[in-house]
Structure 1
Amino acid sequence: MVVSLGHNVTIHCENQTSAETFYLLKAGDQKSEQMKEISQNNSSFTIRNVTLEHTGKYTCRYSNKLDCFFTSKSSVPMELLLTDPELSRPGISLNSSIVSRLRSSVSIQCWVKKGQSGIFYLHNAEDKTKLQSVKSQENMAKFIFKNIRREDSGNYSCSYRPTPGFLISPASNSNATLLILDPDLPSPTISISPIGLVALGQEIKIQCETKNGPMMFYLYEAGDPTAKWTMKSDFDMGEFSISNLSSQHRGMYHCIYARVDKPFLFSGASEPLELQVSGMQESYDYTQANIARFIIGSLILLVLTYIIFVECNID
């Protein structure tokens, strides 16, 4: 459990059967024992205005009415960590393509520029319970996902904890986003309006369509994974407009989509769509012709000047 300086934190203790009293203990500090009488099977302990002294390992125990002089075994320890803004935020990267396939393997790497042996933590922004940790003797750690599942998708961030101690860095500034190709989602269809060869400067619209929305649609340029645009989505159709078509827009495009309620699970790509732009060759030919006319005109002018110069000298 991670908390910021001065904030409050609540630790929950729970048992399957009814208990009369719960005890919260901090490892290595017998004076820190807290007791709370309760007639149910759970209890909560709140620590207010958390400081460095509150960090450490905590366990719970309980006793009941029948054996009030005996307590249960201690629970699995829980660590209370304090965020230290003085610690550098780690970096994070994902060694995968834009969208990973189910049951494939990917890894997320976390690192700090200067560090000692410590523990790296990987946080899932969509599910706070998915906290992974790796002990490292270096300034980096690798989190490996083998046979990835749909529930592994999402945004991930890293934090770093030097050891020994219970101080932890703030989370990484950027996220590593794990997108997964869901084979249960059929590929969409892609189309363009107007159809066929399109003139320079004209406006076009590219549509992407599927069934059973609502969906979010994205347009990609083939061969360039960084060329990605969010399409204007309307339930089961997405649209992307280009108002002033140029030669740079020429190429092959495809689209994909994700469900609104599962934004990290993507469909397969549509069939490629070729955007053909007319007027590009003609524009090039006109330019060459103008250059040729300029050169010829300059030569004629030089010849006329020479003739006039010669005639003037003869006279």
Structure 2
Amino acid sequence: MSVRKTRPTMFFLRTIISCILLVKETGAVDQLNKPYLEVLTSYPDDVIVIGGKVRLHCKNRTKAETFYLTKDQNDIGSQNNSEFSIVDLKLSDSGLYSCRYSWNNVFSEPSEHQDIYVHDKYPPPQITVKPRKIVRPGEDITITCATPYSNMQFTFYKNGQSFKVSNDNPFSYFKRNAGEEDVGQYACDFRTKSDSKAQIQSYLSDYITIKVKGLDSPSAWLEKYGGENQTVKIICQAPVTSKMVWFQLLNSSEGIVEEIDGVFENQVTFNIASPDHTQKQYYCVYAMRIGNNLAFSAISKPVFIWGVDYTTVNIIRLLISALVLILLGVILVIHFNIFQKTEESLPELPPARRNQAEQSEYTEMVIMKTEHVMEDNEISSAGDNIEEL
């Protein structure tokens, strides 16, 4: 009976010990978290080219003694630092990279793989054209090539033949008064300059097809009808029929005011609600599709909208009032000067008149004295009469 009891006990103890060892081993592994491999480059869009440099950072969240870098599941280096560097890259450096680390002779799991691809050429440059791919005869055109890489030399191609080289970035080819001789396919590429350590060329850019097409200008006229908002109606008519046409209404100060896309009509109406109170010029153009691009016409003759600028009117009123006040002041000054000159210019009385006047004054004085004496005599006579009574 004792033997039977001992065997289950030993089995139970062995099971417990095994579990303890398993938990201990699992806990040790869990303490070394799975790292993450970060690829660090100085290249635009992380495009790595031959002759360059790349840094690989094995990021972890626990203590580590040694870091290991693997390529295509083969160890290629170990060090105490978590950041690895690969310089003077070659095509053979392309591959799948991962890393791991150790602590107290315990190794972490390897990181997820990072694909590093070393290019033997730069990505193609970006090529653009202004104002558009289809221009009118005599219109200026600008083709621009650009890349985020520095210290490069550009080459322009027309119909597969190089015709322009420049060290500028971006590099623009400007053509004034485009004509039939400028029709063709344009592209560009770039390469490291001759003084660079590695001579690397880029892929060729996309081709841009330049066409020259003249479209007659449309007709435009103005119709204005009353209403609360004084809406203005501008009619634009293109000299084409039975084709899809795009219309644009342009303003002399604001550019495109309104667009009407893809209509099978050669005449459209643009409505301008409540135009502001300033004089403006409006134009219209139309476009037709040629291949995958639009060809634009010349602009129409201007259509004028005459508005009332109340600020200007008020200023004019103030100026007129000021002029009126100035004129009144001038008139008063002139009148005062004339009156003063008139008084100064009056002649003196002749001697005869002067004597006559003096005599008349003397006669008046004598008469006044005589009247005074007569009054005194009358008073005396009245007094004598009273005494006699």
TM range (shorter): 0.3 to 0.5
Instruction: Answer with 1 or 2: which has the greater Rg.
Output: 2
- TM-score, normalised to structure 1, is 0.43
TM-score by length of 2: 0.37
Larger strand proportion, structure 1 or 2?
1
